[in-house]
């Protein structure tokens, strides 16, 4: 059993809490004014659980708060201010509620309910996506006491233990591959090729190369406006699509040359004009164009293809190149827009060149032999005696 004191945002003051495990389940309560009160409440709860376990006490009355799951999720959705997040939560919450009986209480939601949601969603999406959606649901339930005072002692059920395969990718785009892909994307217009298809190939080439030179995400590049490009200071203002932050990225000479050429032939507000629509439709069109160029260049493409390449791998490649080039982690993090160092290091991969350089250093150390100790001249005994 553990009893401690900490500040509670719910009570706006420091309170005492206790936590203990009984029958492989954790029990936690808080809001006590003294350590003695927390100890007494913990002992009483443990005694009640012990009697119920052996059938020596009647089950407690169903005095659960009559707050429904729909009320909690609706309140969580109503307090969301960001438009994209609000749309995302609306879809996730609606899907979760459809799997449960109508009017179910929030206190009736169990770990099995979460497991049922994961089983339902993993039929159509990756398990990592289903886990992220479940995180939104659990966060809403954890915030329920802030919305409804009758849920002051409520705790969301535990997340089900599901073995999640690692979604980390190890794909690095080599210079040979990038050159071959760009040659295919920028090849001259073919006689039977439509003009807008040819323009789309050039768009995909610029998007692919700019991702390699800025380490920006695809969504960030597609949302770029010409007002975000500072040709005088050679910088790019990037509005992050994941962390809701803004960062300034220095431009390489090649990226600056690419943007100037694009500015000369393109108009409008956005760097990448919406010929093929906005959002997912536009992104999918660029992916299809890149997939065709990879097929012509003999480069495997696709997340599910062994060794396959995707547009997001350009971000991996840029981050790895900067780290292996000697840039500090904090510097690279400011360019890539990662919120934590741990997330950044997921994108840093070893290449064949870096591995060979490391092995060569190891070879130099192992073959050098023991360090040579300078010989100390031996003084004859007569010389020492004369001294």
Q: What is the tens place of the pLDDT at every residue in 181-210? A: 999 999 999 999 888 888 888 889 999 999
Q: Is the pLDDT of residue 89 over 90?
A: yes
300 and 327 together in one domain = yes
How do the residues of the chain divide into helix, strand and coil, expressed in percent and rounded to 5? Answer: 50, 10, 35
Helical H segments across the chain, by residue range: 35-53, 69-78, 83-98, 111-121, 127-142, 144-147, 175-185, 195-214, 218-222, 253-265, 279-297, 313-324, 329-336, 341-345, 352-367, 381-386
Q: Is the pLDDT of residue 237 over 60?
A: yes
Beta-carbon contacts of residue 135 (< 8 Å; ≥ 6 apart):
none
Mean pLDDT of 257-278: 76
Share the mean pLDDT of the chain.
81
Q: Residue 281 has what pLDDT?
A: 40
Q: Is the pLDDT of residue 179 over 50?
A: yes
Mean pLDDT of 139-151: 89
Q: How far apart are CA 340 and CA 242, in angstroms?
A: 13
Share of the chain above pLDDT 90, in %: 26
Q: Residue 366 has what pLDDT?
A: 63
Structure confidence at residue 279 as a pLDDT band (50, 70, 90): very low
Asked if residue 58 belongs to a domain, the reply is no
Beta-carbon contacts of residue 48 (< 8 Å; ≥ 6 apart):
57, 60
Beta-carbon contacts of residue 110 (< 8 Å; ≥ 6 apart):
157
Beta-carbon contacts of residue 120 (< 8 Å; ≥ 6 apart):
95, 99
300 and 338 together in one domain = yes
180 and 101 together in one domain = no
Q: Residue 171 has what pLDDT?
A: 80
115 and 195 together in one domain = no
Asked if residue 123 belongs to a domain, the reply is yes
Taking the model in full, what pTM does it have?
Answer: 0.55
Asked if residue 299 belongs to a domain, the reply is yes
Structure confidence at residue 280 as a pLDDT band (50, 70, 90): very low
Structure confidence at residue 38 as a pLDDT band (50, 70, 90): confident
Q: Residue 77 has what pLDDT?
A: 93
Range of the domain at 235: 175-345
Q: Is the pLDDT of residue 278 over 50?
A: no
Asked if residue 329 belongs to a domain, the reply is yes
232 and 97 together in one domain = no
- The lowest-confidence range among 3-17, 161-175, 319-333 is 161-175
What's the total number of domains in the chain? 3
Q: Residue 101 has what pLDDT?
A: 87
40 and 93 together in one domain = no
Asked if residue 334 belongs to a domain, the reply is yes
Q: Residue 336 has what pLDDT?
A: 83
CA-angle at 98, arms to 94 and 101, nearest 5°: 130
- The lowest-confidence range among 3-7, 137-141, 274-278, 371-375 is 274-278
Q: Is the pLDDT of residue 12 over 50?
A: yes
| Most confident of the following: 167-176, 328-337, 365-374 | 328-337
Asked if residue 24 belongs to a domain, the reply is yes
190 and 328 together in one domain = yes
Asked if residue 130 belongs to a domain, the reply is yes
Q: Is the pLDDT of residue 271 over 50?
A: yes
Asked if residue 381 belongs to a domain, the reply is no
């Amino acid at each position: 059993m553990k009893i401690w004191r900490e500040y509670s945002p719910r009570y706006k003051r420091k309170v005492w809490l206790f936590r203990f495990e009984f029958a492989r389940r954790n029990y936690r309560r808080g809001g006590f004014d003294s350590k003695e009160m927390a100890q007494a409440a913990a002992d009483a709860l443990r005694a009640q659980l012990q009697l119920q376990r052996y059938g020596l006490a009647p089950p407690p009355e169903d005095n659960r708060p009559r707050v429904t799951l729909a009320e909690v999720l609706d309140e969580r959705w109503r307090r969301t201010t960001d438009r994209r997040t609000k749309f995302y939560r609306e879809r996730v919450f609606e899907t979760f509620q459809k799997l449960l009986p109508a009017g179910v209480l929030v206190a009736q939601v169990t770990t099995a309910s979460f497991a049922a949601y994961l089983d339902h969603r993993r039929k159509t999406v990756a398990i990592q996506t289903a886990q992220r959606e479940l995180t939104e649901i659990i966060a809403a339930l954890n915030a329920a006491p802030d919305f409804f005072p009758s849920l002051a002692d409520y705790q969301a059920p535990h997340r089900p233990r599901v073995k999640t395969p690692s979604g980390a990718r190890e794909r690095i785009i080599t210079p040979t591959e990038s050159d071959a892909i760009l040659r295919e994307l920028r090849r001259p217009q073919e006689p039977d090729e439509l003009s807008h298809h040819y323009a789309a190939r050039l768009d995909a080439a610029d998007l692919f190369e700019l991702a390699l030179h800025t380490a920006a995400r695809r969504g960030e590049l597609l949302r770029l406006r010409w007002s975000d490009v500072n040709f005088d200071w050679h910088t790019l203002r990037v509005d992050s699509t994941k962390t809701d932050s803004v960062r300034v990225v220095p431009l390489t000479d090649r990226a600056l040359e690419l943007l100037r050429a694009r500015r000369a032939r393109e108009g409008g507000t956005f760097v990448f004009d919406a010929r093929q629509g906005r959002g997912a439709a536009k992104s999918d069109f660029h992916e299809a164009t890149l997939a065709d160029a990879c097929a012509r260049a003999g480069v495997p493409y696709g997340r599910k293809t062994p060794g396959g390449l995707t547009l997001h791998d350009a971000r991996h490649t840029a981050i790895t190149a900067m780290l292996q080039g000697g840039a500090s982690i904090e510097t690279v993090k400011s360019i890539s827009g990662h919120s934590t160092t741990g997330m950044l290091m997921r994108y840093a991969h070893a290449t064949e060149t870096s591995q060979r350089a490391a092995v060569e250093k190891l070879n130099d150390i192992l073959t050098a032999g023991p360090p040579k100790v300078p010989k100390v001249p031996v003084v004859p005994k007569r010389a020492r005696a004369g001294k």
